[in-house]
Amino acid sequence: MGVPTAPEAPSQRFPPGPESVARARRFVRAALGDAAPELAADLLDTAELLTSELVTNAVLHARTDIDVSARAADGRVRVTVRDHRPSRLLVPQDCPPYAGTGQGLALVDRLASRHGVETGDTAKTVWFELWPVPAPHPTAWEPLEPPAEAAETVTLVDVPGALYSAAQQHRHVMLRELELAAATGQHLVPPKDLATAHDISNVISACVTAALRDEPVEGEIRSLPLALPADAAPAVETLSNVLDVAEAAARDERLLTLPALPRSRVFHTWLFDEIVGQLAGTHPTAWTVVPRDPGAGPAEPAPWDAGHVQSSRVPTIAADEQNRIIAANGPAADLLGWHADDLVGRPLPTLIPEHLRARHIAAFTSLLLSGQPRILGRSVPLPALHRDGRLVPVRLFLQTQETADGRTVFVAQLSPRAAAPGPVSRRPGRRPAAAPQEQVAVAPGHPATAPGRHGEAVLSALERLSLLAETGAAMSNTPDLDDGLQRVGRILTERLADWCAVDLVDEDARLDRACVVHRDPGALCMEEFEGSLPPLTDAARGPLARALSGAGPLLLAGPPPAGEAASPLDAQYRELFGRLETTSAIVAPLRARREIIGALTVARTDRERPFTEGDLSLIDDLGRALALGVDNARLHQETRNIAERLQRSLLPVLPEAGHLELAARYAASSTTAQVGGDWYDSFILPSGDTALVIGDVTGHNLDAAIAMSQLRSMLRGIAVDRQEPPETVLRRLDMANHTLYREATATCIYGLLKGGEEGPWELVHSSAGHLPPLLTTEDGRTRFLEDGSGLLLGMDPDMPRHRAKDAVPANATVLLYTDGLIERRDESLDDAMERLSRHTAALAREPLDVLCDELLIGLGADSDDDIALLAVRPTSPH
């Protein structure tokens, strides 16, 4: 494998300690300099560097005495590093440029003219040569073989490549840091356990490397058989324990590295459990079905691809670990007043209001330093900063993705709070996995049981009815049009076709390819085919244009002829057929309310199983069912948008009072796209008192929003006209409400904050079944103002109501809120109120904007109810 080491080559033995690395470098430089003073300086520098890397590997992984020899002749350099542990094979890795460890062999591969390894019964020798001119035939490390002692096969099912790369890199860094800490006398784990952890970690890496070499790569998710020693389980458990200690030390900043992010920790737990369990005889459990916390990320992590952000219809922004924006799409840029290209490269805090920037930086730093997520995988209401300086209320849904080389990218989806709040059903670039109840039942012998093959006969009547029913249910069971179309696409490609597409006409007569689904999700990136289409013009004569004009269903025996591509729309449709290797297809118009609203295309790629005329009636029926679902979804969206505009119009502008600070927030539910009856209000009466109102009408629909708007208007009118005490105003409001909505009920607090600019101040209020206001003094003491409570509005208008008076110290905060902020199904009301009290106490000295936003972030994430907040704070001029 190389020229034998000359007998006269200087050689020296070094002990297996960190100090030997520097000593070996000095030895090699001195030996080469003495033997050949004429050697070029760059060869000496390179020899010293590569020696350092190989000796470091021997110290970390062999832990035996190390023999180093170096000689120079004819301008060439040869260095050998020998250890006495031949069973510990080399594990060359793919090393990204940011990697902190594992680059030694990669450096040798890049910089050496030749290199190799020789293994005997008692020793292993790694050598390299450096020549003054580039090698004509550079060598590469030989393919790695699994450990010779392997005896059992462990199968890892659905391993995500990018996540494994990130987890492996972090594991190696952690073990390296523990080794360095031990070299300075800080033995965080027993030396024997650390040695065992190093060894088994290398065995796992070697087995995965061998499996990746032998198994064909078919996308990001793959299954790997690992040939592991039968007695490896105790060592793997030791490795797991050692990494737990390292993670704790990293969180305490005792190591010079960051702890792992949540998903990486969950993945390592799964990896070790699989190895230990399968060696004990249990069956494999796929990574994609392992339950996990929201912050740990989804079961099928999406590999990072900036193109997926660009193609997403959801406002999406991505940032790297340096808190810098690396991608933004058009919807996000439009929402925040930017051009997408102008956002890339800017610090992420550019889009964060100034009063929340310190909080963001602290939370982001905490995530990196502690690995503990706070808002990952959760729907959080907060404001974003528009380019013109105004605040844009949004719901943030934040998840992590991994690049191909293992780095982490933070991907944020922004939903305007008045429009479809909460997380969308799919992340950029990934199809949503069907829930268990959505899986399509396939009878034995059905064509779908043999992917890529379809029965020649027309489906039976029962199968047709089943397919039509499933298509209709897929559209009716979700209010989100995009999600419903994806579900229909999965059903059609499982039961009928190899791919399908849905093209829709919007209210402005523009064409949009809303959905393309392929039987094989990894075949191509389907998102690149979605989006806006060329307009339908008089010149268009292709099958899609004909279907959009009402013709069909049309049977196509392959791509449309080139001569029919008379318009950009025709050419685009023909290109779609060619890219997806289509051999037959049917395109059908989608008709709803006597209008053509789009077209459905179903296609096959198997020449032996083409669509036939017998399939036309089925596709026509499917098109009618799909059109009905699309039309219903659009009607639902239209109704929802009307209600949302109504809700937005009812959010009042808070009054300006020189001695009072006022702040308010409204956040719709994170689990529904409906509006509700929560509201707040504040206005100054002719008497000079400041009125404070918060309420909640029962329900989460347009009726509740309408009832709320009328209650709000009536209360304002009654309060301003009569200027009576709060309990009287509420009684009059209850009587008016009973006249208008005999069945409707609502809660409400009406309060008056009295006092001049110098104070003192008091809150006079009455409550109709609403949660009590919370008073928080400047020093953090809290008290719920529970007096003045009475029945809900709509129960008994004649029932007397009560009044409460409470002093409000200067710089104290009175918080009015609705139940969506605190109530949770798995928590008692007392515990929920105590939690609110603790959060508010911690924010007692913060500006009111910060207090309100922090309460929404800390308590309102994932709330399944609407939330309204109103906070007031009298300020002393002294």
Q: What is the mean pLDDT of residues 698-716?
A: 79
Contact 797, 734 (CB under 8 A): yes
Say how many C-beta atoms besides its own lie within 10 A of residue 610's C-beta. 17
Question: What is the distance of C-alpha 674 from the center of its chain?
Answer: 24
pLDDT at position 633 over 90: no
pLDDT in tens, 90-134: 766 555 544 455 567 778 878 888 888 888 888 889 999 998 876
Rounded to whole angstroms, how far apart are CA atoms 125 and 1?
11
pLDDT at position 234 over 90: yes
Who wins on pLDDT, 644 or 200?
200
pLDDT given for residue 275 in this prediction: 92
Q: Does any domain span residue 763?
A: yes
Q: What is the mean pLDDT of residues 255-268?
A: 81
Q: Are strands 221-228 and 391-402 parallel, antiparallel or unpaired?
A: unpaired
Say how many C-beta atoms besides its own lie within 10 A of residue 475's C-beta. 22
Which tokens belong to 417? 């709070």
User: Among 24-33, 106-115, 673-682, where is mean pLDDT lowest?
Assistant: 673-682
Q: Does any domain span residue 424?
A: no
pLDDT given for residue 809 in this prediction: 94
- Among 404, 303, 319, 326, which residue's Cα sits nearest to residue 96? 404
Q: Does any domain span residue 692?
A: yes
Among residues 396, 416, 436, which one ends one of the domains? 416
Same domain, 159 and 105: no
Contact 503, 512 (CB under 8 A): yes
Question: Which residues touch 623 (CB under 8 Å, ≥6 apart)?
Answer: 553, 588, 589, 590, 591, 599, 600
Question: Which residues touch 801 (CB under 8 Å, ≥6 apart)?
Answer: 727, 728, 730, 731, 766, 768, 790, 791
Contact 36, 75 (CB under 8 A): yes
Q: How confident is the model at residue 647 (pLDDT cuts 50, 70, 90)?
A: low
Rounded to whole angstroms, how far apart are CA atoms 850 and 843?
8
Same domain, 566 and 506: yes
Contact 374, 367 (CB under 8 A): yes
- Among 752, 747, 746, which residue's Cα sits nearest to residue 724? 752
Same domain, 635 and 684: no
Question: Which residues touch 249 (CB under 8 Å, ≥6 apart)?
Answer: 178, 181, 188, 255
Rounded to whole angstroms, how far apart are CA atoms 98 and 407?
9
Same domain, 195 and 116: no
- Print the domain residue range for 780: 650-874
Which tokens belong to 112? 């050496």
Same domain, 220 and 319: no
Same domain, 489 and 566: yes
Q: How far apart are the first and last CA of the chain?
A: 86
CATH at residue 751:
3.60.40.10
Rounded to whole angstroms, how far apart are CA atoms 568 and 821?
52
User: Among 327-331, 529-533, 685-689, where is mean pLDDT lowest?
Assistant: 529-533
Q: Does any domain span residue 221?
A: yes
Rounded to whole angstroms, how far apart are CA atoms 311 and 330?
9
Q: Are strands 774-776 and 391-402 parallel, antiparallel or unpaired?
A: unpaired
Same domain, 624 and 565: yes
CA dist list (Å): 226 to 90, 147, 280: 17, 10, 15
CA dist list (Å): 373 to 93, 224, 381: 30, 30, 16
Residue 406 has phi, psi (to 5 degrees) of 95, 0
Q: Does any domain span residue 615?
A: yes
pLDDT in tens, 530-540: 888 888 888 88
In sequence order, what DSSP letters do the residues of 511-558 get, joined into one string? EEEEEEEESSTTSS-GGGG-EE-----TT--SHHHHHHTT---EEESS
Among residues 236, 261, 296, which one ends one of the domains? 296
Among residues 296, 317, 341, which one ends one of the domains? 296
Rounded to whole angstroms, how far apart are CA atoms 856 and 380?
7
Who wins on pLDDT, 564 or 684?
684
Cis amide leading into 291 (omega within 30): no
Same domain, 99 and 212: no
CATH at residue 537:
3.30.450.40
Same domain, 512 and 462: yes
Q: Does any domain span residue 817?
A: yes
pLDDT in tens, 281-315: 898 888 877 665 544 444 444 566 777 787 677 78
pTM of the predicted model over 0.75:
no
CATH at residue 126:
3.30.565.10
Same domain, 104 and 157: no
In sequence order, what DSSP letters do the residues of 632-673 get, joined into one string? HHHHHHHHHHHHHHHHHHTSPPPP-BTTEEEEEEEE--SS-S
User: Among 422-431, 578-587, 642-651, where is mean pLDDT lowest?
Assistant: 422-431
Alpha helices in 344-480 (DSSP H): 354-370, 461-476
Q: What is the mean pLDDT of residues 168-184?
A: 84
Same domain, 560 and 668: no
Q: Does any domain span residue 511?
A: yes
Rounded to whole angstroms, how far apart are CA atoms 559 and 571?
10
Contact 109, 140 (CB under 8 A): yes
Count: domains in the chain:
5
Q: Does any domain span residue 610?
A: yes
Same domain, 586 and 626: yes
Who wins on pLDDT, 327 or 471?
327
CATH at residue 360:
3.30.450.20
User: Which residue has 């007998």 as its token pair?
Assistant: 7
Q: How confident is the model at residue 563 (pLDDT cuts 50, 70, 90)?
A: low
pLDDT given for residue 667 in this prediction: 83
pLDDT given for residue 19 in this prediction: 87
What is residue 39's DSSP assignment?
S
Q: How confident is the model at residue 419 (pLDDT cuts 50, 70, 90)?
A: very low
Who wins on pLDDT, 36 or 297?
36
pLDDT given for residue 150 in this prediction: 53
